Structure 1
Amino acid sequence: MLDACAELVDEVGYDGLTTTLLAERAGVAIGSVYQFFPDKRAIVQALTLRSLEGYLQRLSDRLAGEGIANWWDAVDAAIDEYIDMHRTVPGFRTLHFGDVVDIHLLDDERDNNDVIVSQLSALLVARFGILDASRLQFVLAIAVEAADALIKLAFRRSPDGEAAVLGEAKALIREYLHHRL
Protein backbone atom coordinates (compact mmCIF):
# COMPACT_ATOMS: atom_id res chain seq x y z
CA MET A 1 0.00 0.00 0.00
CA LEU A 2 2.85 2.39 0.71
CA ASP A 3 4.35 1.80 -2.73
CA ALA A 4 0.98 2.53 -4.30
CA CYS A 5 0.68 5.65 -2.16
CA ALA A 6 4.11 6.85 -3.32
CA GLU A 7 3.16 6.40 -6.97
CA LEU A 8 -0.20 8.10 -6.55
CA VAL A 9 1.11 11.07 -4.61
CA ASP A 10 3.56 11.73 -7.44
CA GLU A 11 0.78 11.44 -10.00
CA VAL A 12 -2.09 13.31 -8.33
CA GLY A 13 -0.50 15.11 -5.36
CA TYR A 14 -1.53 14.90 -1.74
CA ASP A 15 -4.81 16.70 -2.33
CA GLY A 16 -5.78 14.30 -5.13
CA LEU A 17 -4.92 11.19 -3.11
CA THR A 18 -7.91 9.28 -1.76
CA THR A 19 -8.18 6.02 0.10
CA THR A 20 -10.34 4.70 -2.75
CA LEU A 21 -7.62 5.46 -5.31
CA LEU A 22 -5.05 3.88 -3.03
CA ALA A 23 -7.09 0.69 -2.61
CA GLU A 24 -7.55 0.44 -6.38
CA ARG A 25 -3.86 0.99 -7.13
CA ALA A 26 -2.73 -1.42 -4.40
CA GLY A 27 -5.25 -4.02 -5.52
CA VAL A 28 -6.82 -4.35 -2.08
CA ALA A 29 -10.29 -3.83 -0.67
CA ILE A 30 -10.98 -0.42 0.85
CA GLY A 31 -11.54 -2.18 4.18
CA SER A 32 -7.94 -3.40 4.07
CA VAL A 33 -6.73 0.18 3.78
CA TYR A 34 -8.79 1.20 6.79
CA GLN A 35 -7.61 -1.84 8.72
CA PHE A 36 -4.11 -0.34 8.76
CA PHE A 37 -4.72 3.40 8.26
CA PRO A 38 -7.57 5.54 9.60
CA ASP A 39 -7.21 8.15 6.82
CA LYS A 40 -4.97 9.37 4.01
CA ARG A 41 -2.88 11.45 6.41
CA ALA A 42 -1.91 8.29 8.31
CA ILE A 43 -0.94 6.57 5.06
CA VAL A 44 1.21 9.51 4.00
CA GLN A 45 2.69 9.66 7.49
CA ALA A 46 3.75 6.01 7.22
CA LEU A 47 5.24 6.66 3.78
CA THR A 48 7.12 9.71 5.10
CA LEU A 49 8.49 7.74 8.06
CA ARG A 50 9.63 5.05 5.62
CA SER A 51 11.40 7.73 3.58
CA LEU A 52 13.09 9.10 6.70
CA GLU A 53 14.29 5.64 7.69
CA GLY A 54 15.56 5.04 4.16
CA TYR A 55 17.35 8.39 4.10
CA LEU A 56 19.02 7.79 7.45
CA GLN A 57 20.06 4.27 6.41
CA ARG A 58 21.54 5.51 3.15
CA LEU A 59 23.40 8.27 4.95
CA SER A 60 24.60 5.95 7.71
CA ASP A 61 25.90 3.47 5.11
CA ARG A 62 27.68 6.27 3.29
CA LEU A 63 29.26 7.61 6.50
CA ALA A 64 30.53 4.14 7.34
CA GLY A 65 32.27 3.90 3.97
CA GLU A 66 35.59 5.29 2.94
CA GLY A 67 35.94 8.83 1.68
CA ILE A 68 34.10 10.49 4.56
CA ALA A 69 36.96 11.75 6.67
CA ASN A 70 35.50 15.01 8.01
CA TRP A 71 32.14 16.28 9.18
CA TRP A 72 31.87 18.59 6.15
CA ASP A 73 32.16 15.55 3.87
CA ALA A 74 29.27 14.09 5.84
CA VAL A 75 27.25 17.26 5.25
CA ASP A 76 27.90 16.99 1.52
CA ALA A 77 26.85 13.34 1.68
CA ALA A 78 23.65 14.27 3.52
CA ILE A 79 22.77 16.80 0.82
CA ASP A 80 23.70 14.38 -1.98
CA GLU A 81 21.53 11.61 -0.52
CA TYR A 82 18.58 13.99 -0.14
CA ILE A 83 18.97 15.12 -3.76
CA ASP A 84 19.27 11.54 -4.99
CA MET A 85 16.12 10.52 -3.13
CA HIS A 86 14.38 13.55 -4.57
CA ARG A 87 15.25 12.26 -8.04
CA THR A 88 14.73 8.54 -7.58
CA VAL A 89 12.41 7.61 -4.71
CA PRO A 90 8.71 7.58 -5.60
CA GLY A 91 6.70 9.98 -3.47
CA PHE A 92 9.73 11.74 -2.03
CA ARG A 93 9.76 14.66 -4.46
CA THR A 94 6.15 15.44 -3.60
CA LEU A 95 6.23 14.81 0.14
CA HIS A 96 9.88 15.46 1.10
CA PHE A 97 9.69 14.72 4.81
CA GLY A 98 6.01 15.53 5.10
CA ASP A 99 6.03 19.33 5.10
CA VAL A 100 3.48 19.39 2.28
CA VAL A 101 0.97 17.66 4.53
CA ASP A 102 1.74 18.91 8.02
CA ILE A 103 4.86 20.38 9.61
CA HIS A 104 4.29 17.96 12.51
CA LEU A 105 3.80 14.84 10.41
CA LEU A 106 6.87 13.01 11.74
CA ASP A 107 6.36 13.97 15.39
CA ASP A 108 3.42 15.60 17.16
CA GLU A 109 5.73 17.67 19.37
CA ARG A 110 8.38 18.86 16.91
CA ASP A 111 8.29 20.08 13.35
CA ASN A 112 9.56 17.77 10.62
CA ASN A 113 12.86 19.56 10.12
CA ASP A 114 13.57 19.38 13.87
CA VAL A 115 13.23 15.61 13.63
CA ILE A 116 15.66 15.57 10.70
CA VAL A 117 18.11 17.80 12.60
CA SER A 118 18.03 15.50 15.65
CA GLN A 119 18.73 12.47 13.49
CA LEU A 120 21.53 14.15 11.53
CA SER A 121 23.06 15.49 14.72
CA ALA A 122 23.09 12.03 16.28
CA LEU A 123 24.84 10.62 13.21
CA LEU A 124 27.48 13.37 13.21
CA VAL A 125 28.11 13.15 16.95
CA ALA A 126 28.48 9.35 16.75
CA ARG A 127 30.72 9.40 13.68
CA PHE A 128 32.90 12.45 14.40
CA GLY A 129 32.72 12.86 18.17
CA ILE A 130 31.47 16.43 18.01
CA LEU A 131 31.31 17.50 21.65
CA ASP A 132 28.89 20.42 21.63
CA ALA A 133 25.75 18.61 20.49
CA SER A 134 23.42 21.50 21.40
CA ARG A 135 25.45 23.96 19.29
CA LEU A 136 25.53 21.40 16.48
CA GLN A 137 21.75 21.04 16.59
CA PHE A 138 21.26 24.80 16.46
CA VAL A 139 23.50 25.37 13.45
CA LEU A 140 22.17 22.26 11.72
CA ALA A 141 18.64 23.62 12.15
CA ILE A 142 19.64 26.76 10.24
CA ALA A 143 21.50 24.71 7.63
CA VAL A 144 18.62 22.26 7.09
CA GLU A 145 16.09 25.07 6.60
CA ALA A 146 18.38 26.83 4.11
CA ALA A 147 19.25 23.64 2.23
CA ASP A 148 15.59 22.60 2.11
CA ALA A 149 14.56 25.92 0.56
CA LEU A 150 17.39 25.92 -1.99
CA ILE A 151 16.86 22.31 -3.03
CA LYS A 152 13.17 23.01 -3.57
CA LEU A 153 14.14 26.01 -5.71
CA ALA A 154 16.48 23.85 -7.79
CA PHE A 155 13.72 21.31 -8.44
CA ARG A 156 11.18 23.99 -9.29
CA ARG A 157 13.58 25.26 -11.95
CA SER A 158 14.38 21.84 -13.42
CA PRO A 159 12.84 18.36 -13.01
CA ASP A 160 16.28 16.93 -12.17
CA GLY A 161 17.29 19.87 -9.99
CA GLU A 162 19.16 22.77 -11.54
CA ALA A 163 22.83 21.88 -11.08
CA ALA A 164 23.97 25.46 -10.51
CA VAL A 165 21.47 26.00 -7.68
CA LEU A 166 22.32 22.64 -6.09
CA GLY A 167 26.02 23.48 -6.25
CA GLU A 168 25.43 26.85 -4.63
CA ALA A 169 23.28 25.23 -1.94
CA LYS A 170 26.06 22.83 -1.02
CA ALA A 171 28.67 25.60 -1.03
CA LEU A 172 26.50 27.88 1.09
CA ILE A 173 25.73 25.19 3.68
CA ARG A 174 29.32 24.00 3.86
CA GLU A 175 30.65 27.55 4.27
CA TYR A 176 28.02 28.38 6.90
CA LEU A 177 28.75 25.27 8.95
CA HIS A 178 32.51 25.72 8.60
CA HIS A 179 32.27 29.13 10.29
CA ARG A 180 29.79 28.04 12.95
CA LEU A 181 31.24 24.77 14.22
Structure 2
Amino acid sequence: MLDACAALVDELGYEGLTTTLIAQRAGVAIGSVYQFFPDKRAVVQALTVRHLEAFLNNLNTRLDARLGDGVADWWAIVDAVIDEYIHMHRAEPGFRTLHFGDVVDVHLLDADRDNNDVIAQRLQELIIDRLGLVDRPGLRFALAIGVETGDALINLAFRRDPEGDKEILDEAKVLIRDYLSRHVN
Protein backbone atom coordinates (compact mmCIF):
# COMPACT_ATOMS: atom_id res chain seq x y z
CA MET A 1 0.00 0.00 0.00
CA LEU A 2 2.87 2.36 0.73
CA ASP A 3 4.41 1.65 -2.68
CA ALA A 4 1.05 2.39 -4.31
CA CYS A 5 0.77 5.59 -2.30
CA ALA A 6 4.27 6.70 -3.36
CA ALA A 7 3.54 6.12 -7.04
CA LEU A 8 0.21 7.92 -6.85
CA VAL A 9 1.68 10.89 -5.00
CA ASP A 10 4.25 11.27 -7.76
CA GLU A 11 1.52 11.08 -10.41
CA LEU A 12 -1.29 13.07 -8.78
CA GLY A 13 0.18 15.00 -5.86
CA TYR A 14 -1.13 14.83 -2.33
CA GLU A 15 -4.39 16.60 -3.14
CA GLY A 16 -5.26 14.08 -5.87
CA LEU A 17 -4.54 11.09 -3.64
CA THR A 18 -7.44 9.10 -2.18
CA THR A 19 -7.64 5.92 -0.16
CA THR A 20 -9.74 4.40 -2.95
CA LEU A 21 -6.97 5.05 -5.47
CA ILE A 22 -4.41 3.59 -3.08
CA ALA A 23 -6.48 0.43 -2.68
CA GLN A 24 -6.99 0.11 -6.44
CA ARG A 25 -3.28 0.61 -7.21
CA ALA A 26 -2.25 -1.81 -4.46
CA GLY A 27 -4.77 -4.38 -5.65
CA VAL A 28 -6.48 -4.65 -2.28
CA ALA A 29 -9.98 -3.99 -1.00
CA ILE A 30 -10.59 -0.53 0.46
CA GLY A 31 -11.27 -2.23 3.80
CA SER A 32 -7.67 -3.44 3.81
CA VAL A 33 -6.46 0.15 3.60
CA TYR A 34 -8.72 1.16 6.48
CA GLN A 35 -7.58 -1.85 8.49
CA PHE A 36 -4.14 -0.23 8.76
CA PHE A 37 -4.78 3.47 8.07
CA PRO A 38 -7.72 5.68 9.09
CA ASP A 39 -7.23 8.08 6.16
CA LYS A 40 -4.88 9.15 3.39
CA ARG A 41 -2.91 11.36 5.77
CA ALA A 42 -2.04 8.31 7.86
CA VAL A 43 -0.86 6.43 4.76
CA VAL A 44 1.30 9.39 3.77
CA GLN A 45 2.60 9.65 7.33
CA ALA A 46 3.67 5.99 7.21
CA LEU A 47 5.32 6.59 3.82
CA THR A 48 7.14 9.62 5.26
CA VAL A 49 8.43 7.57 8.19
CA ARG A 50 9.61 4.95 5.68
CA HIS A 51 11.38 7.72 3.74
CA LEU A 52 13.09 8.92 6.92
CA GLU A 53 14.22 5.40 7.82
CA ALA A 54 15.49 4.81 4.27
CA PHE A 55 17.31 8.15 4.31
CA LEU A 56 19.07 7.36 7.59
CA ASN A 57 19.89 3.76 6.60
CA ASN A 58 21.19 4.83 3.20
CA LEU A 59 23.16 7.64 4.81
CA ASN A 60 24.84 5.22 7.22
CA THR A 61 25.67 2.89 4.32
CA ARG A 62 27.05 5.83 2.33
CA LEU A 63 29.14 6.94 5.29
CA ASP A 64 30.45 3.43 5.89
CA ALA A 65 31.51 3.26 2.22
CA ARG A 66 33.21 6.66 2.33
CA LEU A 67 34.74 6.47 5.77
CA GLY A 68 35.05 2.79 6.60
CA ASP A 69 36.23 2.20 10.13
CA GLY A 70 38.52 5.22 10.04
CA VAL A 71 38.06 8.51 11.79
CA ALA A 72 35.07 10.29 10.39
CA ASP A 73 35.60 13.54 8.54
CA TRP A 74 33.10 16.31 9.26
CA TRP A 75 32.86 17.42 5.62
CA ALA A 76 32.48 13.87 4.35
CA ILE A 77 29.43 13.60 6.59
CA VAL A 78 27.98 16.90 5.36
CA ASP A 79 28.54 15.89 1.74
CA ALA A 80 27.03 12.45 2.36
CA VAL A 81 23.90 13.98 3.92
CA ILE A 82 23.41 16.32 0.97
CA ASP A 83 24.22 13.60 -1.59
CA GLU A 84 21.74 11.19 0.00
CA TYR A 85 19.00 13.83 0.11
CA ILE A 86 19.60 14.52 -3.60
CA HIS A 87 19.59 10.78 -4.33
CA MET A 88 16.27 10.38 -2.51
CA HIS A 89 14.77 13.14 -4.68
CA ARG A 90 15.92 11.33 -7.81
CA ALA A 91 15.26 7.71 -6.91
CA GLU A 92 12.76 7.26 -4.08
CA PRO A 93 9.13 7.13 -5.26
CA GLY A 94 7.02 9.78 -3.57
CA PHE A 95 9.97 11.57 -1.99
CA ARG A 96 10.26 14.43 -4.46
CA THR A 97 6.63 15.31 -3.81
CA LEU A 98 6.43 14.67 -0.07
CA HIS A 99 10.02 15.19 1.11
CA PHE A 100 9.76 14.44 4.81
CA GLY A 101 6.05 15.23 4.97
CA ASP A 102 6.17 19.02 4.90
CA VAL A 103 3.75 19.09 1.95
CA VAL A 104 1.09 17.49 4.14
CA ASP A 105 1.88 18.85 7.59
CA VAL A 106 5.05 20.41 9.01
CA HIS A 107 4.40 18.30 12.14
CA LEU A 108 3.84 14.99 10.34
CA LEU A 109 6.81 13.19 11.91
CA ASP A 110 6.25 14.56 15.42
CA ALA A 111 3.21 16.41 16.73
CA ASP A 112 5.35 18.80 18.79
CA ARG A 113 8.19 19.60 16.38
CA ASP A 114 8.65 20.60 12.77
CA ASN A 115 9.66 17.78 10.43
CA ASN A 116 12.99 19.44 9.68
CA ASP A 117 13.67 19.74 13.42
CA VAL A 118 13.23 15.96 13.69
CA ILE A 119 15.66 15.52 10.78
CA ALA A 120 18.17 17.92 12.35
CA GLN A 121 18.03 16.01 15.65
CA ARG A 122 18.57 12.67 13.92
CA LEU A 123 21.52 14.14 12.00
CA GLN A 124 22.91 15.60 15.20
CA GLU A 125 22.77 12.17 16.83
CA LEU A 126 24.48 10.60 13.83
CA ILE A 127 27.20 13.27 13.69
CA ILE A 128 27.84 13.13 17.43
CA ASP A 129 28.15 9.36 17.19
CA ARG A 130 30.39 9.39 14.11
CA LEU A 131 32.65 12.26 15.18
CA GLY A 132 32.48 11.95 18.95
CA LEU A 133 31.42 15.58 19.29
CA VAL A 134 30.00 17.06 22.44
CA ASP A 135 26.23 17.40 22.28
CA ARG A 136 25.52 21.10 22.71
CA PRO A 137 22.64 23.45 21.86
CA GLY A 138 24.76 25.43 19.39
CA LEU A 139 25.38 22.32 17.32
CA ARG A 140 21.68 21.53 17.16
CA PHE A 141 20.86 25.11 16.16
CA ALA A 142 23.51 25.17 13.42
CA LEU A 143 22.32 21.82 12.05
CA ALA A 144 18.71 23.02 12.10
CA ILE A 145 19.70 26.07 10.03
CA GLY A 146 21.74 23.83 7.71
CA VAL A 147 18.82 21.42 7.24
CA GLU A 148 16.38 24.26 6.49
CA THR A 149 18.81 25.87 4.05
CA GLY A 150 19.66 22.62 2.31
CA ASP A 151 16.00 21.64 2.09
CA ALA A 152 15.03 24.96 0.49
CA LEU A 153 17.89 24.98 -2.02
CA ILE A 154 17.55 21.34 -3.02
CA ASN A 155 13.80 21.77 -3.48
CA LEU A 156 14.51 24.81 -5.67
CA ALA A 157 16.99 22.78 -7.73
CA PHE A 158 14.37 20.08 -8.34
CA ARG A 159 11.67 22.60 -9.19
CA ARG A 160 13.96 24.01 -11.89
CA ASP A 161 15.11 20.67 -13.28
CA PRO A 162 13.57 17.22 -12.70
CA GLU A 163 17.07 15.81 -12.12
CA GLY A 164 18.13 18.73 -9.94
CA ASP A 165 19.80 21.88 -11.27
CA LYS A 166 23.51 21.09 -10.85
CA GLU A 167 24.54 24.68 -10.34
CA ILE A 168 22.07 25.15 -7.47
CA LEU A 169 22.99 21.77 -5.92
CA ASP A 170 26.70 22.63 -6.04
CA GLU A 171 26.04 26.05 -4.54
CA ALA A 172 23.92 24.49 -1.79
CA LYS A 173 26.89 22.38 -0.71
CA VAL A 174 29.20 25.40 -0.67
CA LEU A 175 26.73 27.49 1.29
CA ILE A 176 26.01 24.80 3.88
CA ARG A 177 29.68 23.95 4.32
CA ASP A 178 30.56 27.62 4.75
CA TYR A 179 27.81 28.19 7.28
CA LEU A 180 28.53 25.06 9.31
CA SER A 181 32.28 25.66 9.28
CA ARG A 182 31.66 28.92 11.17
CA HIS A 183 29.30 27.38 13.72
CA VAL A 184 30.24 23.83 14.60
CA ASN A 185 33.96 23.86 15.22
TM-score range for the pair, normalised by the shorter chain length: over 0.9
Q: Which residue of 2 aligns with 1:160?
A: 163
Q: Is the 8 A contact 1:143 1:176 kept in 2?
A: yes
Q: Which residue of 2 aligns with 1:29?
A: 29
The alignment covers a number of residue pairs equal to: 181
Q: Is the 8 A contact 1:63 1:127 kept in 2?
A: no
Matched position secondary structure for 1:107: coil
Output the amino acid matched with 1:136.
Answer: L
1:10-55 superposed Cα distances (whole Å, 9 cap, x missing partner): 0000000000000000000000000000000000000000000000
> Which residue of the other structure, out of 171, 174, 182, is the alignment partner of 1:171?
174
Output the amino acid matched with 2:88.
Answer: M
Q: Does 1:63 align with 2:59?
A: no
* Post-superposition offset of 1:132: 3.8
Identity across matched positions, percent: 66
1:99-118 superposed Cα distances (whole Å, 9 cap, x missing partner): 00000000111110010001
**How far, CA to CA, are the matches of 2:127 and 2:13 in structure 1?**
34
Output the amino acid matched with 1:42.
Answer: A
Matched position secondary structure for 2:148: helix
| Backbone CA RMSD of aligned residues | 1.0
Q: Is the 8 A contact 1:72 1:178 kept in 2?
A: no
Q: Which residue of 2 aligns with 1:146?
A: 149
**How far, CA to CA, are the matches of 2:75 and 2:140 in structure 1?**
15
Q: Is the 8 A contact 2:6 2:47 kept in 1?
A: yes
1:63-85 superposed Cα distances (whole Å, 9 cap, x missing partner): 22344731121011000000001
Q: Which residue of 1 aligns with 2:4?
A: 4
Q: Does 1:89 align with 2:101?
A: no
Q: Is the 8 A contact 2:66 2:76 kept in 1?
A: no
Matched position secondary structure for 1:156: helix
The equivalences for 1:54-133 within 5 A come to 54-67=54-67, 69-133=72-136
Q: What are structure 1's unaligned runs of at least 5 residues?
A: none
Matched position secondary structure for 1:102: coil
Q: Which residue of 2 aligns with 1:41?
A: 41
Output the amino acid matched with 1:115.
Answer: V
| Runs of 4+, deviation exceeding 4 Å | none
